[in-house]
Amino acid sequence: MAEQTVIEAVREGMREMMEQDERVFVLGEDVQEGGVFRATEGFLDSFGATRVVDTPLAEASIVGVAIGASLNGLLPIAEIQFADFIHPAMDQILSEASRMRYRSVGDWSCPLVIRTPWGGGIHGALYHSQSIEAFYAHMPGLKVVAPAVPEDFKGMIKSAIEDPDPVLFLEHKKLYRSFKSDVPDDDYRTPIGPAAVRREGDDLTVYAYGLMLQECLQAAEAVAKDGVAVEVVDLRCLRPLDKETILASARKTGKILIVYEDNLTGGFGAEIAAIIAQEAFEYLDAPIMRLAGPEIPTMPYAPPLEHFYMPDAEKIAAAIAELAAY
């Protein structure tokens, strides 16, 4: 075991895969220089310009080239510099990558990883703070992961690279260097699909992913002092979704809080609420609660307004207290 930040875990996972398999290569804007967040730092010296490919500022082309490479036997890792800029590539992701296996009746697959930093809380304002998961988790044929701890970032990037189908790998940018935790030294994989119970509790369940998982753990620790035992479930994979773990915890505690930083309406948390309402309704002791970003178009720049927008441990703890008292 060694302590690593999230960005170190992502970098090490990609590096190990590139060392193990010469078919793996990275492409994106400024990746030869390490990228904006330094995820590919040192890769050019280690692997050369044919496997660390700088691209123009053209997201549709980045993903399109990666799709073509994957269909010709390579294992591309396409970096989109910020999730806010991925939308020009949506047609490539939706119409081509996600449908490749289906349209070819299984004759073709599209082993492609699209990495992108997402989310707010770093003063990125309108065009560097978006939450995009609900748009892309809607697409059958595309896997969407949103890890929250360094161990998962390393293990899941490896699983994503080896997956025969396209994977959108969401990396919350505020997590990159905000904390460290132990990461195994061995060549492990974290499977894409299963959720993880990060904290056991009997009074209520909180579901989250990405940065919000860490905020929920802090909130759970705070309310424990008042005798409220919160179970915290890290979804970590949004498609496919681990319904078994979601429902088991809902049936165990009977009270549900779902936390995500995207806008409330149409956000991914609504899917979790719908699953529980449909398949575990008789176990519920309170209405399902959601805590999410406000109904405004995007993240403000001014720090007080950004704080207003972002769910955090204090707001989550208040929602937990309200739900526990129901």
The domain of 214 spans 196-324
Taking only Cα atoms into account, the Rg of the chain, rounded to an integer number of angstroms, comes to 19
Residue 191 in domain: no
Quick: pLDDT tens for 122-158: 999 999 999 999 999 999 999 999 999 999 999 999 9
**pLDDT tens figures, 284-296:** 999 999 999 999 9
Domain assignment of residue 114, yes or no: yes
Q: Are 3 and 42 in contact (CB under 8 A)?
A: no
Does residue 189 form part of some domain? no
Residue 222, domain member (yes or no): yes
Q: Is the distance from CB of 205 to CB of 180 less than 8 angstroms?
A: no
Strand partners, 27: 53, 78
Mean pLDDT of 31-47: 98
| Residues 6 and 117 placed together within one structural domain of the fold | yes
Domain boundary among 183, 214, 229: 183
- Is position 307 annotated as part of the catalytic site? no
Tokens of 229: 């035992």
Q: Is residue 13 part of a domain?
A: yes
Domain harbouring 216, CATH code = 3.40.50.920
d(C-alpha 305, C-alpha 160), whole Å: 36
Same domain, residue pair 100 and 131? yes
Vertex 193: Cα angle to 29 and 211 (nearest 5): 55
Mean confidence (pLDDT) of the chain: 97
Q: In angstroms, rounded to a whole number, what is the distance separating the alpha carbons of residues 317 and 150?
A: 24
Choose the catalytic residue: 87, 123, 128, 138: 128
Q: Which phi and psi (to 5°) does residue 124 adopt? A: -90, -15
Residues 166 and 300 in one domain: no
- Residue 127 in domain: yes
CB half-sphere exposure, 99, CA atoms < 13 A: 9
Task: Count how many domains the chain has.
Answer: 2
284 shares its domain with 141: no
Q: Is residue 190 part of a domain?
A: no
pLDDT above 90 for 244:
yes
pLDDT value at residue 1: 85
- Residues 105 and 211 placed together within one structural domain of the fold: no
Domain boundary among 125, 159, 183: 183
What pLDDT, on the 0 to 100 scale, is given for residue 94?
Answer: 96
User: 311 with 208, same domain?
Assistant: yes
Q: Which residues of 80-110 are buried (b: 16+ CB within 10 A; e: fewer)?
A: bbbbbbbeebbebbbebbbbbbeeeeeeeeb
Is the distance from CB of 10 to CB of 153 less than 8 angstroms? yes
Q: Judge whether 172 lies within some domain.
A: yes
Check pLDDT > 90 for residue 59.
Answer: yes
pTM of the model: 0.97
Check pLDDT > 90 for residue 51. yes
Domain boundary among 139, 159, 183: 183
